Chains A and B, each alone.
Chain A
Amino acid sequence: MRELSLNILDIVMNSIEAGATRVITAIVESPSRNLLQIAVRDNGRGMSDELARSVLDPFVTTRTTRAVGMGLPLFRQTALLAGGDLRIDSQIGKGTTVIAFMQLHNLNRPPLGNIVDTMMNLMTASPNVHFFYAHLTDGGRFCFDSFRLFSIMAEHDCSIYEAADRARQNFENGLRRIGARLF
Chain B
Amino acid sequence: MKTLEDLRAIREKAQRELASRSSAAKYRISVAMGTCGIAAGARNVMSAILDELNKRNVTQAVVTQTGCLGYCDQEPMVQVTGPNNVTITYGKVTPEAARRIVDEHILKDSVVSAYVFKQG
Residues of B within 8 A of A154 (CB): 10, 13-14
Any chain B CB within 8 A of the CB of A143? Answer: no
State which residues 55-76 of A face B: CB under 8 Å. 67, 70-71, 74
Residues of B within 8 A of A120 (CB): 50
Q: Which of B37-45, B73-81, B82-90, B108-116 makes up part of the contact surface?
A: B37-45
A159 within 8 A of B: yes
**Does A48 interact with chain B (Cβ within 8 Å)?**
no
Does the CB pair B18–A10 fall under 8 Å? no
Taking a contact as CB atoms under 8 Å apart, the answer to whether A13 and B31 are in contact is no
B33 an interface residue at 8 Å Cβ cutoff?
Answer: yes
Asked whether, in the complex, the Cβ of A13 is within 8 Å of the Cβ of B10, the reply is no
CB pair B11–A147 under 8 Å, yes or no, is yes
Cβ distance A67 to chain B, nearest Cβ, rounded Å: 7
Please name 21 pairs of A and B residues whose Cβ atoms are closer than 8 Å in the assembled complex, sorted by A.
A1-B39, A6-B39, A10-B33, A16-B65, A17-B67, A67-B67, A67-B68, A70-B34, A70-B35, A124-B63, A125-B46, A127-B15, A147-B7, A150-B15, A151-B10, A153-B14, A154-B10, A159-B21, A160-B14, A161-B53, A165-B50
By a beta-carbon cutoff of 8 Å, the part of chain B in contact with chain A is 2, 7, 10-11, 13-15, 17-18, 21, 31, 33-36, 38-39, 43-44, 46-47, 50-51, 53-54, 57-59, 63-65, 67-68
